[in-house]
Structure 1
Amino acid sequence: MKTKDEIAQWCVDFIATTFEIDPVEVERDAEFQSFGFDSTALVSFSAEIEEWLGHEIHPSALFEHPTIDSLSAFVVEQYK
């Protein structure tokens, strides 16, 4: 299983690449919507992180845990 920091870094890298943002500017406590996510991007993000983790992450988890830090903590707790 991945650590919280590994998951968070993957999220930072995904957001930086997807939205052409410098990774240094991706704040782990900022809400996903603040980066430009819409419903389509959230579904894509969910599918990509599922593939990377090897575990299902329902798109609703991204609404319930709307920041990198909260989502990372949720995933670690859910799949430990």
Structure 2
Amino acid sequence: MNDTTTVGTTTVDTSPQAIRAWLTDRVAYYLERSPADLDEGAQLAEMGLDSVFALTLCGDVEDRFGLVVEPTMAWDHPTIDAITAYLAAELAG
């Protein structure tokens, strides 16, 4: 299994661990919290991620991984762990 993808001229690590770390960093940035303070299995909405940041996260995912995702991604996959699994599966396929 190849755990990288090329977006433009950049090679991106697409292993589940790298996806999870990147997502955790992005969500922590939006919530103005430390990544270490986040529970990756907690509901994003319950942590305080609002619809504006959820939509922005979709754009970040598209830019980072070269995937087109639905604007409802954060609601359809409501935790960092769930988004990680979704993205890993999409990138593997």
TM-score, normalized by the shorter chain, greater than 0.5: yes
TM-score, with structure 2 as normaliser: 0.78
Q: Tell whether 2:34 aligns with 1:22.
A: yes
Q: What is the match of residue 72 of structure 2?
A: 60
Does the 8 A contact of 2:30 with 2:49 survive in 1? no
Question: How far 1:49 sits from its partner (Å)?
Answer: 1.4
Does the 8 A contact of 2:20 with 2:80 survive in 1? yes
**Corresponding residue pairs, total:** 80
Runs of 4+ in 1 over 2 A off after TM superposition: none
| Larger-Rg structure | 2
Paired residue type of 2:18: E
Question: How far 1:35 sits from its partner (Å)?
Answer: 2.4
Deviation digits for residues 44-76 of structure 1, max 9, x if unmatched? Answer: 111011101111121222211100111111111
Q: Percent identity?
A: 24
- Structure 1 spans left out of the alignment, 5+ residues: none
Higher share in strand: 2
